[in-house]
Amino acid sequence: MKRLLDVLREDCALTGTKEGCGEGECGACTVLIDGQAVNSCLVPFAQVAGSSVTTIEGLTGAEALQSAFIREGGAQCGICTPGMILAAVALPKDADLQDIRRGLAGNICRCTGYEGIYRSLRAAAIPARAAD
Amino acid sequence: MRTALSSLSLLEPRSLQEALSMLRDAPGTTPLAGGTDLYVGLNFGTVRETRFLDLSRLRPLREIALQGDVLSIGALATYTDIVRSPLVAERLPILASAAREIGGVQIQNRGTVGGNVANASPAGDTLPVLAAADAVVVLQRAGGSRRVPFTGFYTGYRKSVRRADELIVAIEVPPVEGRQWFRKVGTRAAQAISKVVMAGIRSPRPRLALGSVAPTVLRLPLTEASLAASGSIEEARRVLAREIQPIDDLRSTAAYRHRVAGNLLAQFWSLPESLAPLISRRIAARLRTQPVEDYRLDFEDGYGNRSDAEEDSHAISAAREVVTGMAAGTLSSSIGVRIKPLTEELRARSFRTLDLFVTQMVRDAGRLPDNFVVTLPKVTAPEQVAAIAEIFEALERGLSLPAGALALEIMVETPQSIIGPAGEISIGGLVSAAGGRCLAAHFGTYDYTASLNITAAHQHMLHPACDFARHAMQAALAGTGVWISDGATNVLPIPPHRGEDRTLTGREIARNRAAVHAAWKLHYDHVRHSLANAFYQGWDLHPAQLPTRYAALYAFFLEGLDAASARLTNFVEKAGQATLVGDVFDDAATGQGLLSFFLRASACGAITEQEAVEKSGLTLEELRSRSFVRILAGRRAAAVRGRETGNGSRATKGSETAAVPRGQLDRESKD
Amino acid sequence: MPAVGQNVLRKEGRGKVTGAAKYVDDLSFPGMLYGSTIRSTIPCGRIRSTRPEFDPSEWVVAGVPDIPGKNVIALIEDDQPCLADGRVRHVAEPILLLAHADREALAGAKVAVDYEPETPVYDPAASPRVFKEILIEKGDLGKGFSRAARVVEGEYRTGHQEQLYIECNGVIAVPENGGITVYGSLQCPYYVHKALVVLLGLPPERVRVVQTETGGGFGGKEEYPSMLAGHASILALKAGRPVKMVYDRVEDMLATTKRHPSIVRHRTGVASDGRIVAMDIDVLMDGGAYLTLSPVVLSRGVLHATGPYRCDDVRVHGRVVMTNTPPNGAFRGFGAPQTLFAAEVHMERISEALEMDPVRLRELNLFRPGDTTATGQVLGADCSAAEVLREAVARTGFDARRQALSGTNAGIGLSLFFHGSGFTGGGEVRLASRASLALTPTGARILVGSTEIGQGTRTIHAQIVADALGIPYENVEVSDADTACVPDSGPTVASRTCMVVGKILQNCALEMKARLGSLSPARYLELHGPLVVTREYEKPAELEWSDETYRGDAYGAYGWGCNVAEVERDPDTFEIRPVRLTAVCEIGKAIHPTLAAGQIEGGTAQGIGYAILEEVVFRDGAMANAQMTNYVVPTTLDTPPIDVVILESAYPHGPHGAKGIGEMPIDGPAPAIVNAIRHMGVDLRQIPATPERVMEASCVSP
């Protein structure tokens, strides 16, 4: 019955996944299970057997987004940032601002008013589109 | 985390059978699906159970499929599964709407519909949808299963009929007919717990369910019945207020929940947004071409008592105006004059005005305008009607008009015109005293309610006393060919602040808009009430009332169009079948009623004649015959000819699919 | 290229986006125990006895007798005990401390506490104890009112607000070197240091406080960490082992500080042309059970109570009083959001009473350079009230929008506000903050007690130092906020970190540059050995302030702001949805424009939450909605687009002209939103403007 969150943080020493509330409200503990964003504070560890779990430490291919979070003010205190980045990675590829707002509604940020986060996503998307 | 998680045990069955056996053998084991509720409780230390059953390996329970015409949603379907399911989108789109508003994406990816049902929270967002959709909960236990109607599933706050050895395996939803509606009012725009959540299905049999207003999700049979019966939203709100039991809690207040539940009901029952642009276009077209159907020149209450000389001159000048209109062809299709009542004091004045007006008109134009009528107010006795009929005769003779050229309308606005001295319904007697000249009876709200000693604050169109009078008129005049017409709304959509000499301030503009909108809303509600009671005519006092008159009229017909269309098509086919095989078909009145719906809708401009043909499934010829019996006869003849040539299958096929609402029929035919 | 004014790469960003940054709960020490707190469940009464319902032999249990020094949290007045000594004054007051090696065991450890309850006080108006009373008087109030053509009166109320940093309060206390080292999520290491020295009876050098990466503060980690650090230290010293205490969300909300609720009454004399001729303002704040920082919160509250408006005859009377609720404390804005809410909604009501355009009324009365404030401060050339108002009105097309929205279910409103940067004149002198700069072979290392809590302290300090030394930004390092190696730069609060501490650092750098002469840093070190320059706060000569009379220059500088809010009201549910919020702020100089915008955007979003969503529900003296499910803050979908405009009007004594910025953005949204609601004809005078309140106010509209 152990939470995925605790296994990650204590057993795996992957402390990039944060606990903000323990009640599935803040999204700071967001990880990806088979590519889908979940709150790891509400996931029984037993249920992830055979699944792929991605934490901020194991995230690959999001370098542009991560850099943008630093440059564009997407991260301030940083406690919501790993969860926010993982939720952003799980957004549909063609997400517009309203999709982004809906997709990130499960991640509370108390520092930025979300504007810096939108800027970060926009900034990261531009080179990605150019490369397409 | 306020629970020692390592002290809890988790059973991990690999199949449904294994899970059911575990539930049977270990009573008190709590099923665990997505964990989005359970782990919140564990976090707060409020979960007492210590043994859990992990359902996550029971993959088949995640399926969403059609079984016959029933939509079966596996208990483990996540909210995301529901949002993405084409079947849910087609069958029960409001379930997807509810799922989309639960938590954030992270919760939607984990939470399950079975969990939402099992958790039994009064605020569960999918629950009102399932309740309104007449869903069935499928419970399985080792060696058996049962299906429980959703409305009987909950027995109290967080209590259900599920026994400890049973598992919720699926939710079944039968086909839903009607327009689906869902609205969640939460504590914020996303990630919110509901303060009020409502699901509704709009059809001739409306269905409605509410969450967060009682210890469990509530189906609202009384409110549904009220909506179905009266169509009056105010009455339905009153019923709703008695049917829910909201409380003050951390998130809201009972007063708020009461108010908002009523407002949501009104929103649900109001104009569907999809119809708004169409209605708006048709109102504009109607206002451009024929804004007024019928017009009265008033010499009674709206005019008042003035000197004889003044009223004389006005009677003559009014007649001249009408003659000018006749010549220019600008008159409404009906026109008339309302004279003063035939009381002791006013009788002479009343006759004199009538005489001057009619005489002047006939002298100048040589004839009466088309569809000319005289309105007699405040009728209290048949003698008054007989007296005016005599005057009519005299005028016709004097002016060499054809006998019977002058027609009469009476106003029913005194208690005596409803109930006579011996306790009998007096309207019939009033009408027959006119000797065939009486074309219509009009209800007058304010005189009527005033004579019943109803205080001014309560003298309005929706007062139950008015309904009594209307019903009496309706029943007494049914089948006589005498039209009935409803009264007027006397709160006018006129802005209180005028800016003749200066620009209005922002607050004045705000007050103006508020006043006009409120008066429009009131008028709209009154007209809808009239229409629900089959008073298809009504009076307005001010041109600014016309937009809401037509809005109510068109919305009434357009909202009902799909349902009437399906019913009439079905009915014509069934009736055709019955007559074809020689069964007795004795419900022609219902058929005529459905036909009249289309005739009235097209007559008032809510739909075009072409649309009436398409939606009724009739030919133009059939529609114009205006008679259901004649249509049936024609169809029977055609069917007999068809059978003789071996071509009778089309009607049969139609009858099989006609029960499905039109929208779905269209979609299926494209597949 | 100078670094100041550029969006240089922030210093501590990398670890935050890769998960490498270590917050306190991410740290672990060998042999570490987990601590927890047994708290009172009643608001007021005596403790008869405590009885652990577990086998105490497996536990470390600490109570008042285990406190080595004085049982107080040393701050302004030493009235708050670290552990309740025989009586409790609020729910969640700490009584007993427990520690265990198994974190899960804490969940089940119950202690029976036997109380003798007393009658609690919840209504501040009925409080028997005034923590602090302040009177500001200017001119002759009676004379002022005698010139008034109209008098407008009103009462305005604001509720508690929870900081809701996403990282809860937490510390680890490690007994070492005959003393204690505390690692923690905190804003003010030297506050904690001072408190621990008193509580533990240790010499200052035996107490070390190290700030770990801090997941948001907003004032909520200004004074409370002293309490938590005290608890962990008591347990750690008793156990002889490191003790970690990290609150869960429920405990953090139940026990830690919130924004002070307020009741503010205005009585204003207005001349027939709209000029304000008399202001009589009464401010009442609820301090909670102990004094903590309440006097200072009240001070900032009354100093902003007039709003940015000139008036010759003014009286502001303020009180902060005791109630039997957990102590209220620092939260971004620190008293000013409460009084500015009242001032700006009252201003709107004056414009309604006079049927006068709200912009015109403000233009007529706003502070201009050379005007004097209620305390007699003559405003300098950087006073920008007129500029921010003009910019906001022009940018939003305010007049046309207001006309267009009249009579609809949407409204537009504005608020004009100002915010004093730093402590009051006297406060900064008393703090006597110090900052140091150490020469490194390639540049310099900053040594300050100011903390990075997300706002960009390290980055902007490095920018200022780089430009003053004339070296690249990358060559400036910033030391951790560790009391073992940085001086006391004063608390990281009050919008002072850039303007005040930044200025001291700039002075350090200028002195270092002079010492270096033409030598490179490496060469200097070779020749002269290590160089550390330390400077102290220098009061600008012209600033004069008296705490006794409340006369003089209350703050060195003010930032100026104007917000315009456009909102919609759902006619069926009475929900208020902000559509757009325009925030114009004049801040002297944006050292780092992106970080500055981030402060404004974030503060504005918190202000929006304060305005419409965030309500602490108290039942029997306890926060009843102490979960994130039930205390709701804005999500992405609750936060409208925020349009930020930064204006710059230099303050001569700030680094590059910079003034404070951190707090001001939260002053404006609540009154702007409420004024937008008022534009719809709803007479609302209280926040949060929940749908329930909007419904009530909508139903009794004039």
Q: What is the pLDDT of residue B659?
A: 29
Q: Which of C156, B8, B598, C605 is nearest to A113 (CA)?
A: C605
Higher pLDDT, B168 or B653: B168
**Considering chain C, what percentage of its residues have pLDDT values greater than 70?**
99
Residue B642: pLDDT band by 50, 70, 90 thresholds?
A: low
Residue C452: pLDDT band by 50, 70, 90 thresholds?
A: very high
Q: For C474-480, what is the mean pLDDT?
A: 97
Residues B321-364 pLDDT 10s: 999 999 999 999 899 999 999 999 999 999 999 999 999 999 99
Q: What is the pLDDT of residue C239?
A: 98
The CATH topology of domain C262-425+550-699 is: Aldehyde Oxidoreductase; domain 4 (3.30.365)
Higher pLDDT, B272 or C15: C15
Both B355 and B251 in one domain: the answer is no
- From chain C, pick out residues whose CB is under 8 angstroms from the CB of B1: 104, 107, 248
Residue B653: pLDDT band by 50, 70, 90 thresholds?
A: very low
CB pairs A-C closer than 8 Å:
162
Would the pLDDT of C299 be above 90?
yes
- From chain C, pick out residues whose CB is under 8 angstroms from the CB of B510: 406-407, 679-681
The whole-angstrom distance between B71's CA and the closest CA on chain A is 26
Bridge partner list, B438: B408
Q: Is A105 on the interface with B (CB under 8 A)?
A: yes
Chain centroid to Cα C503, Å, comes to 21
Q: Which of B49, B48, B3 is nearest to B29 (CA)?
A: B49
| Contact criterion met (CB < 8 Å) for A25 and B54 | no
Whether the Cβ atoms of residue B237 and residue B262 lie closer than 8 Å to each other: yes
CB pairs A-B closer than 8 Å:
88
Domains for chain A: give ranges and CATH numbers: 4-131 (3.10.20.30)
Both B471 and B581 in one domain: the answer is no
Both B187 and B312 in one domain: the answer is no
The reply to whether C13-21+433-536 and C31-119+164-255 are identical in fold is yes
Of B202-206, C512-516, C580-584, which gets the smallest average pLDDT? B202-206
Dihedral Cα C296, C301, C304, C307, nearest 10 deg: 180
Both B589 and B562 in one domain: the answer is yes
Q: Is C107 on the interface with B (CB under 8 A)?
A: yes
Interface of A with C in 50-109 (CB under 8 A): 55-57, 66-67, 69-73, 75-82, 85, 100-102, 104-109
Of A33-47, B79-93, B161-175, B495-509, which gets the smallest average pLDDT? B495-509
Token couple for B608: 């075009």
Q: For C34-54, what is the mean pLDDT?
A: 97
Number of domains in chain B: 3
Q: What is the pLDDT of residue B578?
A: 66
In a domain, B285, yes or no: no
In a domain, B392, yes or no: yes
Q: Is A36 on the interface with B (CB under 8 A)?
A: yes
Q: Identify the chains in contact with B, defined as 3+ C-beta pairs within 8 A.
A: A, C
- From chain B, pick out residues whose CB is under 8 angstroms from the CB of C625: 250-251
CA distance A70 to A116: 10
CA distance C348 to B621: 67
Q: Which of C217, C595, C603 is facing A73, going by the closest CB pair?
A: C595
CATH of the domain at B322: 3.20.20.60
Q: Where are the alpha helices (DSSP H) in C520-635?
A: 521-528, 593-608
Both B97 and B225 in one domain: the answer is yes
In a domain, B225, yes or no: yes
Could you say which DSSP state residue C100 is in?
Answer: E
Both B29 and B169 in one domain: the answer is yes
Whether the Cβ atoms of residue C463 and residue C8 lie closer than 8 Å to each other: yes
Bridge partner list, B186: B194
The whole-angstrom distance between B115's CA and the closest CA on chain C is 18
Q: Which of C630, C637, C679 is facing B190, going by the closest CB pair?
A: C637
Both B20 and B122 in one domain: the answer is yes
The full DSSP string for B358-397 is HHHHHHHHSSPPTTEEEEE-S---HHHHHHHHHHHHHHHH
| Contact criterion met (CB < 8 Å) for B190 and A105 | yes
Residues B514-560 pLDDT 10s: 889 889 988 998 998 899 889 999 999 999 999 999 999 999 899 88
- Domain boundaries, position B595: 554-670
Both B535 and B563 in one domain: the answer is no
Q: Is C1 on the interface with A (CB under 8 A)?
A: no
Q: What is the pLDDT of residue B573?
A: 77
Q: Which of B193, B264, B509 is facing C572, going by the closest CB pair?
A: B264
CA distance C307 to C371: 13
The whole-angstrom distance between C608's CA and the closest CA on chain A is 10
Residues C381-421 pLDDT 10s: 999 999 999 999 999 999 999 999 988 899 999 999 999 99
Would the pLDDT of B648 be above 50?
no
Q: Is C369 on the interface with B (CB under 8 A)?
A: no
Residues C231-276 pLDDT 10s: 999 999 999 999 999 999 999 999 999 999 999 999 999 999 999 9
Q: Which of B3, B260, B513 is facing C573, going by the closest CB pair?
A: B260
Q: Is A75 on the interface with B (CB under 8 A)?
A: no
Residues B615-632 pLDDT 10s: 888 888 888 888 888 888
Would the pLDDT of C652 be above 50?
yes
Q: Is C635 on the interface with A (CB under 8 A)?
A: yes
Residues C22-31 pLDDT 10s: 999 999 999 9
Which residues, including other chains, have CB under 8 Å from residue B621's CB and lie 6 or more apart? none
Residues C584-631 pLDDT 10s: 999 999 999 999 999 999 999 999 999 999 999 999 999 999 999 999
Would the pLDDT of B650 be above 60?
no
The ranges assigned to domains in chain C are 13-21+433-536, 31-119+164-255, 262-425+550-699
Q: Which of C188, C187, C230, C241 is nearest to C207 (CA)?
A: C230
- From chain A, pick out residues whose CB is under 8 angstroms from the CB of C216: 76-77, 79, 110-111
Q: What is the pLDDT of residue B670?
A: 32
The whole-angstrom distance between C80's CA and the closest CA on chain B is 28
Whether the Cβ atoms of residue A91 and residue A120 lie closer than 8 Å to each other: no
- From chain A, pick out residues whose CB is under 8 angstroms from the CB of C633: 108, 110
Domain C31-119+164-255 in this protein, CATH class: alpha beta
- From chain A, pick out residues whose CB is under 8 angstroms from the CB of B103: 24, 106
Q: Which of C630, C635, C636 is facing B250, going by the closest CB pair?
A: C630
| C interface test, pick of B256, B503, B512 with most C CB neighbours within 10 Å | B256
Q: For C138-142, what is the mean pLDDT?
A: 97
Q: Is B109 on the interface with A (CB under 8 A)?
A: yes
Chain centroid to Cα B117, Å, comes to 31
Chain B residue with CA closest to C613: the answer is B188
| Contact criterion met (CB < 8 Å) for C630 and B187 | yes
Exposed, middle or buried, B374 (CB in 10 Å: 0-12/13-18/19+)?
buried
Q: Is B494 on the interface with A (CB under 8 A)?
A: no
Interface of C with A in 246-305 (CB under 8 A): 248-249
Exposed, middle or buried, B635 (CB in 10 Å: 0-12/13-18/19+)?
buried
The CATH topology of domain C13-21+433-536 is: Aldehyde Oxidoreductase; domain 4 (3.30.365)
β-pair type (B537-538, B483-486): parallel
Q: Which of A3, A42, A103 is facing B110, going by the closest CB pair?
A: A42
Token couple for B189: 């725009």
| Contact criterion met (CB < 8 Å) for A110 and C602 | yes
Q: What is the pLDDT of residue B586?
A: 58
| B interface test, pick of C37, C361, C573 with most B CB neighbours within 10 Å | C573
Residue B289: pLDDT band by 50, 70, 90 thresholds?
A: confident
Chain C residue with CA closest to B518: the answer is C407
Last residue of a domain, one of B207, B239, B270: B270
| Contact criterion met (CB < 8 Å) for B509 and C406 | yes
| Contact criterion met (CB < 8 Å) for B39 and A43 | yes
Residues C484-530 pLDDT 10s: 999 999 999 999 999 999 999 999 999 999 999 999 999 999 999 99
Q: Write out the E strands in C104-254.
A: 111-117, 130-138, 150-158, 170-176, 179-184, 207-211, 243-246
- From chain A, pick out residues whose CB is under 8 angstroms from the CB of C213: 78
Q: For C202-226, what is the mean pLDDT?
A: 98
| Contact criterion met (CB < 8 Å) for B509 and C407 | yes
Bridge partner list, C266: C154, C281
Both B12 and B89 in one domain: the answer is yes
Which residues, including other chains, have CB under 8 Å from residue C264's CB and lie 6 or more apart? C155, C156, C157, C281, C282, C283, C284, C305, C338, C339, C341, C342, C343
| Contact criterion met (CB < 8 Å) for C407 and B255 | no
Both B471 and B369 in one domain: the answer is yes
Which residues, including other chains, have CB under 8 Å from residue C181's CB and lie 6 or more apart? C173, C174, C208, C209, C210
Q: Is B36 on the interface with A (CB under 8 A)?
A: yes
Average pLDDT, chain B: 89
